[in-house]
Every structure is written in structure tokens, then in C-alpha cells.
Amino acid sequence: MKQNVLEQNVVATEQVSLVPSRWVRIMPLVFITYSLAYLDRVNYGFGAAGGLAKTLDITAGISSLLSALFFLGYFFFQVPGANFAEHRSARKLVFWALIAWGVFASLTGVITNIPLLMIDRFLLGIAESVVFPAMLVFLTHWFTKRERSRTNTFLILGNPITVLWASIVSGFLIQVIGWQWMFILEGIPSIIWAFIWLKIANDRPVDAKWLPQEEATKVEQVLDLEQRGLRQVKNYWAAFRTPRVILLSAQYFFWSIGVYGFVIWLPSIIKAGSKQGLGITGLLSALPYLLAIILMLVSSYFSDRTLERKAFVWPFLIAGAIAFYISFVIGPSNFWLSLLFLVIAGGCMYAPYGPFFAIVPEITPRNAAGESMALINSMGALGSFVGAFFVGWLNGATHGPGVGFLFMAASLVLAAIFTLAVRMPRVVRLSAIAPAMERGVVTGNSQTQTAS
């Protein structure tokens, strides 16, 4: 009698030894690339607080719109970018994106016409939209599921670490040479790095001259093996209609409202509450990202070790929501205590990124995983648009950040609920199923699934 096989998440265990030099050669590349991408979106908050709005006579509403237009542009080319990266070349795509976003980022400091500035911010979002999904696809070509939460974290660490040093550098540059030159100078490194990336990056292990052929083949074989057990889909359009991808898209939409409402407006909130200059504001704005770095590393390590994903996502989001609410309750009566809970909220919002983006390749086969991650990230871009615009609007309409804190807290609670609703396949470790695979028990056409 033919056995009905459950959908399985086949994972290579630590008993399968793969060449460790992949980490040394690949991770610095993706970290620096994403760091430069994130620099060009973080510095807008400092530019707005440091004179852009005043110089161009921009109202609070227009300033919020300018910030949000980046994320609207970021929404459009996620899926095409992931499709190009998976089926053609992530290396070439990221090269051209680096050059484009460096140019558009520098133009932010040159343009003095508000409509042109809106177009520039929108185009900057488009240029950067292909990078994150392309990098996620790139990592799936090099690292196994048991490594993926950590590799995702090292990629996304470019986010808080960049905010950490960019908060200080951007504040300093504005004080010394003005906001215009801050934008111009901080766009140039991306253009230079594009040529370094093109020289060093390889799309797949078999393309890398530094990796022995035997080791490259071994990596490819393990990655192929881990595709077994997943329920197959015809194409990425079919994957988009699956309940799990829909739930994760909704989750990331609400999560991103909290994250980018926080990132974009934190400098202005701290500057207004602390009554300090931009130099001190930059230092204080860096504090949440110090905590974020620690929590991201810890959560991704234990997520990979235990192969649990959801358990390292939703609790952090709930903790962030609670911290936002406490900061709201304290309000302006005690700025420094309120800031402490903002630091906790920021750290908790960043902590789950590695485990979260490890979920998609474990529920979606290779022919649709990249595009599914791009769809989810594009919904995050829409959430970022809402967070950047609506939190800024609320701050201006209510003459304070309190209602914005409540809005971000509610968004994080909804994100946690959607996370809990996602059903995960049963984990099967490679060492336990190898004999069964030889007998053909594990297949790619599963009929049922189990929740974890």
C-alpha cells in the first residue's frame, strides 16, 4: 500500500560538513551591500531634522510624504527583482542597483524643487527595491536551512549597524557641512562599492573559482536535497495564493509600520524631547540599534540551533508593543525613562528578522521561494509607507509622539497574531531520513501538512 507522506521541512544537520570559508567570503559582501542601501534611507530622517524641511519650506505633511514616497517606489519591483536574481543573476542586478541608488541618493542633496525631490525619492525606492530580495535569493544559493537564520541576520545587521554609525556620522556632517553635502557624500560609497561587488561576488558555488569543485558540488547537492518534502507549486503566482504566504505578507505589512514609523521619526522625536543638538540626538538615536544587534544575533543563533522560527518572532513583537505602550503612558513627563522603553521597543522590533525570513524557504519550494520573499517584502514596503507617512502625520496633528506610539504598538500586536496563524511543516533532519530517501520514501509531492 502506498504511504501518504506528510509535507516535510528537510534540514541538513551539523553532521553534514560544508566548507566554512563560504561565511568568510560571502557574508562581508552582503553585509556591506545592504549597509550601504540602508544608509541612503536612514539619512533622510536626519536631513529632515537638520534643515531640509526648513530650507525648502516643506510642511510636516510634505516631509512625511517625501519620506514615504521612497517606500512606495520600493514596493513596485520586488517580485521582478527576485525573479531576475533567481533565474538570471543576482550579482548583475545588485551591481546596477548600487550605481542607481548612489546617484539618486546624492541628488537628494542637490535638488531644490519639491516635485523633483518627490520624483527622486520615488526613484531611489525603485533602485533599492531589487536589492533585499536579490540578496535573500543569493544567500539561498550558498547556505543551507540550518544556517539560514544566521545568514539572514548578518545580512539584515546592515540595517541596525548602519543606523548606529550613520546616526553619529550624519548628525556630525550636518553640523559641519550642512544637510545638502551630507546627502551628496553619503551616496558616493554605493557607486564605488558596485565595482568591488561585481569583481568579488559569484551567483552560485559552482561559479566561484576560490571554492574547490568538490566542495562546490557538495553544497549544491545538500541544497538540492533540502528541496525534498516540500509541497510543490506550479509557479510563484500559485505560491502567492497559498494561505501561509498571504499570512506572512499581512504580518510583514503591520510589522513594518512599527519599524519604519520608528526609524524615520526617532531622530525628530528625540530632538524635540531631549532639547539637545543633532550631535547628541544622533548618539541617543543609536541606542536602540545597539540592543537590536545583540538581540538579532542571539535570536538567530538559537533559531538555527533549535530549528524553531515562529517562537523567535512573535514574542519579540509583543514585547516591542508593550514597550511602545509604556513609553506612551510615561509621555513627556519623564523623557529619559520614556527613551529607555523606546530603546527596548526598537531592539525587540529588529530581533526576529533572521528567523522570520528563514520561514519562507522552509514552506515554499525553490521555484517560488525568491518571489514569495519578494512579495512579503513588498508588503513590508507598503507598511513602511504607512508607517513613515501616518506616524509623521499623527505626530504633527497631535503635536507629540504619543498617539504614534499607540499606532505602532497596535501594528506590532497584529503582526504577532498573523505570525501565530502560520502553519509550519514538520522538521525532518537529514541524518534521520537518509535511508528513507534511498528507498524513495521522501518525495517532493506531499499530500498533507502538519502545524508546528
Give dist(CA 58, CA 219) in Å, integer: 53
* pLDDT score of 305: 87
> What pLDDT band is residue 448 in, cutting at 50, 70 and 90?
very low
Calculate what percentage of the chain has a pLDDT beyond 90: 24
Those residues whose C-beta lies under 8 Å from the C-beta of residue 413, and which sit 6 or more positions away, are 317, 318, 321
- What phi, psi does 8 have (nearest 5°)? -130, 145
C-alpha cell at 184: 551628496
Rg (CA), the chain: 22
Give dist(CA 70, CA 94) in Å, integer: 18
Contact in structure between 424 and 362 (CB atoms under 8 Å): yes
Question: With 50 as the cut, is the pLDDT of residue 326 above it?
Answer: yes
Question: With 50 as the cut, is the pLDDT of residue 256 above it?
Answer: yes
Cα 205–chain centre separation: 24
Measure the N-to-C terminal CA separation of the chain; round to a whole number of Å: 28
Question: With 60 as the cut, is the pLDDT of residue 29 above it?
Answer: yes
pTM for the full predicted model = 0.78
Highest mean pLDDT among 48-62, 118-132, 161-175, 322-336 belongs to 118-132
Question: With 50 as the cut, is the pLDDT of residue 451 above it?
Answer: no
Question: With 60 as the cut, is the pLDDT of residue 4 above it?
Answer: no
Provide the b/e sequence for 211-244 (b: ≥16 CB within 10 Å): beeebbebbeebbebbebbbbbbeebeebbebeb
Give dist(CA 361, CA 198) in Å, integer: 26
Average pLDDT taken over every residue of the chain: 81
Provide the b/e sequence for 25-64 (b: ≥16 CB within 10 Å): bbbebbbbbbbbbbbbbbbbbbbbbbbbbeeeebeeeebb
The better pLDDT of the pair 372, 393 is held by 372
Tell me which of 189-203, 211-225, 255-269, 404-418 is least confident.
255-269
> What pLDDT band is residue 1 in, cutting at 50, 70 and 90?
very low
Q: What dotted CATH number matches 28-206+242-427? A: 1.20.1250.20
3-state secondary structure of 445: coil
Give dist(CA 99, CA 448) in Å, integer: 46
All structural domains of the chain with their residue ranges: 28-206+242-427
Give dist(CA 105, CA 376) in Å, integer: 25
* pLDDT score of 445: 37
* pLDDT score of 442: 43
Question: With 70 as the cut, is the pLDDT of residue 51 above it?
Answer: yes
Q: What is the per-residue DSSP string for 96-147?
A: HHHHHHHHHHHHTTT---HHHHHHHHHHHHHHHHTHHHHHHHHHHTT--HHH
> What pLDDT band is residue 439 in, cutting at 50, 70 and 90?
very low
Contact in structure between 426 and 7 (CB atoms under 8 Å): yes
> What pLDDT band is residue 450 in, cutting at 50, 70 and 90?
very low
Residue with cell 537638520: 50
The better pLDDT of the pair 281, 138 is held by 138
Question: With 90 as the cut, is the pLDDT of residue 353 above it?
Answer: yes
> What pLDDT band is residue 235 in, cutting at 50, 70 and 90?
low
Question: With 90 as the cut, is the pLDDT of residue 223 above it?
Answer: no
C-alpha cell at 203: 551567483
> What pLDDT band is residue 294 in, cutting at 50, 70 and 90?
very high
- Spatial CA neighbour of 349 closest among 316, 302, 324: 316
- What phi, psi does 79 have (nearest 5°)? -65, -50
> What pLDDT band is residue 414 in, cutting at 50, 70 and 90?
very high
Question: With 80 as the cut, is the pLDDT of residue 359 above it?
Answer: yes
The better pLDDT of the pair 352, 61 is held by 352
Side-chain-facing half-sphere of 324: CA atoms under 13 Å: 28
Residue with cell 547537492: 221
The count of other CB atoms within 10 Å of the CB of residue 23 is 16
- Spatial CA neighbour of 92 closest among 207, 201, 211: 201
Give dist(CA 290, CA 299) in Å, integer: 15
3-state secondary structure of 9: strand
